[in-house]
Amino acid sequence: MSFVRENFIFLRNNNILEKFLLTLIFFGLILNISKNRLYDNDWTIGEWLITYPGSFIRRGLMGKIIYIFSKNLEINPIFIIWFICIFSFIGLFLLIKLFSWNIFNKSFLFSNLVLLGPISENYFIRKDIFIVFLYGLCLLSLKIFKEKKINRITAIFLINLYSCIAILSHEVFFIWAFPSIFLLVIQLNKTKKENYKNSSLVTFLNLLPMIIAFISCIIFNGNSEKSLLIHQEWQTLSYLMPSDGLLFENFPSGAIAALGWNKTTHFILSIGNLTKFNLNIFWHPAMWLLTIFFAIRLFSGVKGSLLNDKKRFIICFQFLCIMPIFLPGADYGRWLFMWISSSVLLIGYLEKVNETEIFIKKINVFKIEKYLKKLLPSIRTYKQYYILILSIGIPHCCWSVGRYIISNPVGFAFKNIIFYLDISYKSLINLLL
């Protein structure tokens, strides 16, 4: 009798939590769009406005496409950015639903570790969702090939197409996505007559466009002169794009200006975080490690639930892949989103095509699965699981108690209430006046 009662309470609480998180996603999405409507939002809108200023430069592909459409159709480029971000978010949701809907708790998928994350921390209008969505499309291409709906050449072409778009939009995609894509394509290329050495060489040649795209981004890194040319290019469309003044400044700022930063600047920024404390108590690296610890446990689910050990192994593998990008910057929360959401898609894909055990076997050289279970135990009860979902906060960068509170679901709910009350109050005042 107590078992039935316990399961009833679990289902009821889960349903309430899902609805709460979905509500936050809906209202938070509107909040994000309303806050990112000017050229002056130089780290969000600005990231999409990096173009090719007369020559190739990293991260410029989407900006160039937006510029061409905006100029020829005389559309505010920010509207195009909104459309891409909303389309990518819907696409990512549908891919998660296709691959992973039945192997994760829905409250986890709707939480700020996955779908709510970019919305609660104001990076919905950045490229993060877009490139994770493209990673999902690579997995979808492989799935369709496995179902024999397309041939191998088409599958390889689509994987390179989606990956090159992602890399030329933001080069970090290659660092965290290439290892898993490479291993999956090896399996696609391997036949009974071939060994892994031969199939690895074939796979390397198959994915050469991805590798060339990444190397090109490293070589043509950008400089302050290119940043200025990009800024001046958008100034020619000032009649289409609203700005409170930054568009008319002599020099760019935000993401466009960051193209001019050298490697030393990025490295100093990252190293500086090692010595940072909030309120003289909370050491930044320790707080991020604690966040990663609980993120892995939430990902693997409640003890005894579906695929605990496999999910834990996959997310740890993806973490090893994404670790290099923690060195040259400070936007750790954004990278945690890419890490967790890509892991959600990867384990979902592997389960759909029945290759999870094959994939794990290929990379579990040192048989570390049993050690991971001890170091990162599953959460014991659903009550603890829900409390963690509601309380965990993931600032997009620069950890602080304030940012932690605002970025968790409860704090973000209050942020939404204040935002919409402020809009209502201003609207009422305007009506009365």
Range from 70-79, 206-215, 312-321, 365-374 carrying the lowest mean pLDDT: 365-374
Looking at the predicted structure, is the pLDDT value of residue 8 above 70? no
Q: Which domain holds residue 408?
A: 2-240+268-432
In a domain, 217, yes or no: yes
The answer for residues whose C-beta is within 8 angstroms of residue 306's C-beta and 6 or more apart is 103
In a domain, 51, yes or no: yes
The answer for residues whose C-beta is within 8 angstroms of residue 399's C-beta and 6 or more apart is 276, 278, 282, 284, 287, 288, 332
The answer for residues whose C-beta is within 8 angstroms of residue 220's C-beta and 6 or more apart is 55, 56, 57, 58
Q: What phi, psi does 222 have (nearest 5°)?
A: 110, 165
Q: Torsion-angle region of residue 195: left (phi > 0), alpha (psi -120 to 50) or beta?
A: beta
Looking at the predicted structure, is the pLDDT value of residue 7 above 60? no
Number of domains in the chain: 1
Q: Torsion-angle region of residue 198: left (phi > 0), alpha (psi -120 to 50) or beta?
A: alpha
* pLDDT the model gives residue 365: 67
**Could you read off the pLDDT of 291-327 as tens digits, one per residue?**
999 999 999 999 887 788 999 999 999 999 999 988 7
In a domain, 257, yes or no: no
In a domain, 84, yes or no: yes
* pLDDT the model gives residue 416: 95
Looking at the predicted structure, is the pLDDT value of residue 267 above 80? no
Q: What is the mean pLDDT of residues 204-218?
A: 96
**Could you read off the pLDDT of 375-433 as tens digits, one per residue?**
898 899 999 999 999 999 999 988 999 999 999 999 999 999 999 999 998 888 888 87
Between 23 and 14, where is the model more confident?
23
In a domain, 52, yes or no: yes
Cβ contact 263:271 at 8 Å: no
pTM: 0.94
Mean of the per-residue pLDDT values for the chain? Answer: 91
In a domain, 252, yes or no: no
The H or E element spanning position 425 is helix 409-432
* pLDDT the model gives residue 18: 95
The answer for residues whose C-beta is within 8 angstroms of residue 192's C-beta and 6 or more apart is none
pLDDT category of residue 189 using cuts at 50, 70 and 90: confident
Collapse the DSSP code of 399 into the 3-class scheme (helix H, G, I; strand E, B; otherwise coil) and give the result: coil
pLDDT category of residue 366 using cuts at 50, 70 and 90: low
* pLDDT the model gives residue 147: 94
Q: What is the mean pLDDT of residues 178-191?
A: 88
DSSP state at residue 76: -
Q: What is the DSSP string of 353-388?
A: TT-HHHHHHHH-TT--HHHHHHHSPPBS-HHHHHHH
In a domain, 320, yes or no: yes
**Could you read off the pLDDT of 80-117 as tens digits, one per residue?**
999 999 999 999 999 999 999 999 999 999 999 999 99
